[in-house]
Structure formats: structure tokens, C-alpha cells
Structure 1
Amino acid sequence: MGSDLRRRMAGKGSIVHTAEFIVSSARLAELHECSALLRHTRQRAEEIVGQARALLSEAERQGDAERAPELAAQLDQARRSYCQVLNAYMVICRRITAERQEILQAQLEADRPTGLTGVTRILL
């Protein structure tokens, strides 16, 4: 998809549009790299929450009154950290969607025929 858009932009667009497209594409690639890193971090955070929950359950089953409060606090911290990672992941996903939308909008504007007025221009 990216190479197809790049060909059309370079063929019909000005040098400025082509440069803007290249910058947008690079930004999108960086966002995808961040997304991949956050996805792995999110998965690891899920594992840590699961492990903390299991340790707390085990301590409660064993009646370990000393460790249970400490493990409960650790579980709460793990959940808060997981929420932070999840929120960051969602922000990146939204930004990727917005960046794609901007690229497609620029593509539509570059490909739109000029000289048309009224409803014809809106439909194209």
C-alpha cells in the first residue's frame, strides 16, 4: 500500500507533496515501531499482573498474613503499571490511525482534479 501511494504521489504531486508524504511515511513507520515495542511491553505487563495475582492467592491460601498485604500492594502496583502501558499503547494506535488518515487525505487532495466546481468537486 505504501509504495503504491508513493508512486501516485510522486507522479501527480508537487515536490512539496512528495516530501510531505515521505515525512508522513517515516513518522508512520516510527509509530509502528513504538506500537510493536509497547505491544510486547503490554504482554509482559499482563504476565506480571498474572504472576502477582498468583503469588497473592498462594499467600492467602497458605494463611501468610505477613506477605499477603505486601503482595496485594505489589499486585496493585502491577495493575497501575499495566494500565499506563495500555493507555500508551492506545494513544499510539490512535496516532497511527490519524497519521494514516492524514496520508490518505493528502493523497485524495493531490489526486483531485482541479477546475471543477460545486457538487462535482465534493463528489470527487
Structure 2
Amino acid sequence: MTELHECSALLRRTRKRAEEIVAEARALLAEAELGGDAERILALRADAERARQSYCKVLNAYVAICGRITEERRAIVEEQFARDSRRQGLSGVA
């Protein structure tokens, strides 16, 4: 669980930075569009798209790690419940 939480924290920071990069790329693109520099617009549009795709990869990894943490947490709670039920003599059917 500890490793999953560490990965989650790292991906959360990476996701936030990726969001900033996408916003910066879009701002640069908007600036170029206002300036009318066609060559720069094409280059910045490609940069913005690459930034967006990278952000999507980070976001997907973050969602996957969060899902895994949820699964691990659920398994731990179920095991604790089963252990407590056995100690109290409950059959689990109640």
C-alpha cells in the first residue's frame, strides 16, 4: 500500500505539472494566433497537442493507481471484517 500511495503522490504532482504545461502551450498558441504567424502557429499547435497527449497518459496512469489503491483498501477492509466476524463467531450470512 505504501508504494501505491507514493506512486499516487508522484503522479499527482506530475499531473499538476502536466496541466500547467498544457495551459502554457495553449497560451503560447493563442498568442501566436493573435500575431498571425502561420509557421509559429503550426509548430505551437503541434506542441500543444503533444502536451495534451502526454497529460492524458499521466492522467490515465494516475486513475489506474487510484483504482489499485481502492482495490487494495477494499481487500484489507474485507479481510479485517472477515477476521472480526470469525472472532465474534458470526457466520457471515447475518
Matching of residues 55-70 of structure 1 within 5 Å: 55-70=28-43
The alignment status of 1:80 with 2:16, answered yes or no, reads: no
Q: Percent of counterpart pairs with the same letter?
A: 59
What is the SS of the residue equivalent to 2:61?
A: helix
Total equivalences in the alignment:
93
Indicate which of 110, 116, 123 corresponds to 2:83.
110
What is the SS of the residue equivalent to 1:104?
A: helix
Q: Gapped runs of 5+ residues in structure 2? A: none
Q: TM-score, normalised by structure 1?
A: 0.71
- Cα deviation code 1:8-55 (max 9, x no counterpart): xxxxxxxxxxxxxxxxxxxx1110000000000000000000000000
Q: After TM superposition, give the deviation of residue 113 of structure 1 in Å.
A: 2.7
C-alpha RMSD of the superposition: 1.3
Structure 1 residue runs of 4 or more that deviate by more than 6 Å after TM superposition: none
Given residue 28 of structure 2, which amino acid in structure 1 is its aligned partner? L
The alignment status of 1:122 with 2:90, answered yes or no, reads: no
Matching of residues 36-51 of structure 1 within 5 Å: 36-51=9-24
Which residue does 1:17 correspond to in 2?
A: none
The alignment status of 1:96 with 2:69, answered yes or no, reads: yes
Q: After TM superposition, give the deviation of residue 112 of structure 1 in Å.
A: 1.5
Q: Gapped runs of 5+ residues in structure 1? A: 1-27
